[in-house]
Amino acid sequence: MRISVLVAEIGSTTTVVNAFQDIHTPCPKFIGQGQFPTTVLEGDVNIGLQGAIEDLKKNLKIDKIEYDEMFATSSAAGGLKMTVHGLVYDMTVRAAKEAALGAGAIIHKVTAGKLKRTDIKKIIDLCPNIILLAGGVDYGERDTVLYNAEKIAELGLKTPIIYAGNIENQEEMKEIFREAGNKLYPVENVYPKIDQLNIEPTRKVIQDAFEEHITHAPGMKRIKEMVKGSIIPTPGAVMEASKLLKAALGDLITFDVGGATTDLHSVTEGSEEINRILMSPEPLAKRTVEGDLGVYVNMLNLVERIGKEKLQQEFNFDIQKIITAYQPIPKTSEEIKFVERLTLEAVVTALERHVGKLRYLYGAAGKTTVAEGKDLSNVKYIIGTGGALTRLPNKINILKAALKKRNQNMLLPTEEAKILIDHHYIMASAGVLAKRYPEVALNLMKQSLRCAVI
C-alpha cells in the first residue's frame, strides 16, 4: 500500500507512527496508527520505529507500506537538551527561556549574569545539545554576554550556539565562535527593549539547529536518512499545532500528558483588564514543561504528591500491587483507574504552575492589585493530547475536574471553556506537517478534534 505521508513521533516511552492519505486533495485523511515501545535502551530508536510501522501494517491489515514523504518528531533520550544564559533573570533570561521552551526544549540550566565556576562545571557535565546566549537590550549592556561567550568558547565543546542578545555584539560573537569552531546562529534579540519580548525568531532558529545538528538518540541518524521532511522536537510540534488552532479557533490551552513529563501550551493574548495591570510582559504562546509529572517514568512522583494512603482510600483495590506491576500502557480496569487519577494530579499541578496570579501590594496609597504570569481568563478551548488524555476513558471528566479546582487569585479559564480531545492523537504530527502543509494540518486536526466550529 502506498501512503501519502508517515509521521513518526519518537517519544520518551512510546514510538507512534501516524499514516495520512490524500494530502494533496481537499479531503486529507488520517488512516491509521501504529505504536511500539521506544528503544533507546536497546541502543537504537530505529528498532522502535520499525516496530511501530509493523504495528501500523497489522492495524491496516496490509503486508507492505510505501510512502511518498516521512516526517518525524523526537523527544527520545531526553529530547532537546539546552542551557540558557542571560543578563537579568526577570528580563533577558526569562525571554530566552520562553523562546527555548516554546521551541520544544528541555532546559537543564539557566543562569543570570556572569558565569561562575560552578555554572561552567554544570555545562560541561550536561554537554547540552544547544546553548542559548542572550543579554542586554539592543545598544545596551554588552560586556556580560561577551564574557560568557568567551568562557563557553574555552570549553572546547562543539555544541551549536544561538546568540539572541544585544545586536551590537553579533560581529564579536562571530569572531569568538569562529575561532572556537562552534556553529553560531545569530538571531534577533529576544528582549530588544525594556518590557518587549521578541521570542518567535529564536524559537524558529532553535528548531532549525535541532534539525541540522541533533542525532542525539541512538539510531536517530538512520531515521534522519529516512525522513524527507522535517524532524523537530515533539513539544515544539505540539506548540506549532496549538498556534495553528488558535488562529482558527481563538484563545486556547493544550495539555499534553506523557510518560515522562506534562506540558502545558497556552496561546492567548489574555484579557485587556489583566493586561493593564500585568507587571511584566508574557508571550502570546507560552509552554511550561513539568519534568516531574509523568504517568509512567515519573509515576512515583505523582503517587507521592497525592499520597499513597489517600490513593488507597479512594480505591477498593491494592494500590501497592498496581505500583509494583506498573506498565506503560494500562490494561486492567484497576490500572486504568489508577492512571486516570495520576493524570488528574498531573493536569491540576501543571495548570497551577503555568497560570498567572493576582497579587495585592500595599503602600501609602492603599491596596493595589497587580497581575503576574500568564492570564488564561480569555481561553475558550481546552485541548487534551498525549497518550493519557487521548486514550483514557474519562479524559473529558479529568479536564473538567481540573478546571473546577479553582483559586480566586488564579487567572484561570472559566468553566464555560469548551473541552476538545485530540481523538486521533495526531497533534504533534500535525505540528510538523504544518511546516510544509499548514492547511492540510488544520484540516486533519478538525477531524481529530471533532469540532464543527473550526
Report pLDDT digits (tens) over 252-281.
999 999 888 899 999 999 999 999 999 888
Q: Which three cell numbers stand for residue 94?
A: 526569562
Residue 40 is part of a domain; what is its CATH number? 3.30.420.40
Ramachandran angles phi, psi of 235, nearest 5°: -60, -35
**Same-domain check for residues 178 and 271:** no
Give the least confident one: 76-90, 160-174, 290-304.
Answer: 76-90
Longest dimension (CA), the chain: 77
pLDDT of residue 112: 95
Burial group, residue 73, by CB count within 10 angstroms (0-12, 13-18, 19+): buried
pLDDT, tens digit, 9 for 90 and up, residues 194-221: 989 999 999 989 988 887 766 555 566 6
pLDDT at 282 over 50: yes
* Residue 52 domain-assigned (yes or no): yes
Beta partners for 3?
67
Q: Which of 66-80, 136-150, 254-268, 298-312 has the lowest mean pLDDT?
A: 66-80
The last residue of one of the domains, among 213, 245, 275, is 213
> Is 454 part of any domain?
no
Could you tell me if 199 and 98 are in contact, meaning their C-beta atoms sit under 8 angstroms apart?
yes
Q: What total number of domains does the chain contain? A: 3
Set of cell numbers at residue 250: 481563538
| 453 pLDDT higher than 50 | no
Q: Residues 166, 92: one domain? A: yes
For every residue of 97-156, which 3-state class applies, written as one string?
HHHHHHCCEEEEEEEECCCCHHHHHHHHHHCCCEEEECCCCCCCCCHHHHHHHHHHHCCC
3-state secondary structure of 419: strand
Give the mean model confidence (pLDDT) for residues 426-441: 94
Burial (Cβ within 10 Å: 0-12, 13-18, ≥19) of residue 172 = middle
By DSSP bridging, strand 66-74 and strand 2-10 are parallel
Domain assignment of residue 112, given as a range: 80-213
43 and 93 belong to one structural domain: no
| HEC letters along 371-413 | EECECCCCCCEEEEEHHHHHHCCCHHHHHHHHHHCCCCCECCC
Residue 357 lies in a domain: yes
> How many other C-beta atoms are found inside a 10 Å radius of the C-beta of residue 158?
11
Cell of 70: 516521512
Residue 158 φ/ψ, nearest 5 degrees:
-95, 25
Tens digit of pLDDT for each residue in 29-38? 999 999 988 7
Same domain, 37 and 139: no
Domain of 173, CATH number, reads: 3.40.50.360
Burial classification of residue 83, based on how many CB atoms lie within 10 Å of its CB (0-12 exposed, 13-18 middle, 19 or more buried):
buried
Give Cβ neighbours of residue 275 (< 8 Å, ≥ 6 apart).
269, 375
Sign of the alpha-carbon torsion through 180, 133, 209, 205: negative
Q: Are residues 435 and 407 in the same domain?
A: yes
How high is the pLDDT of residue 57?
95
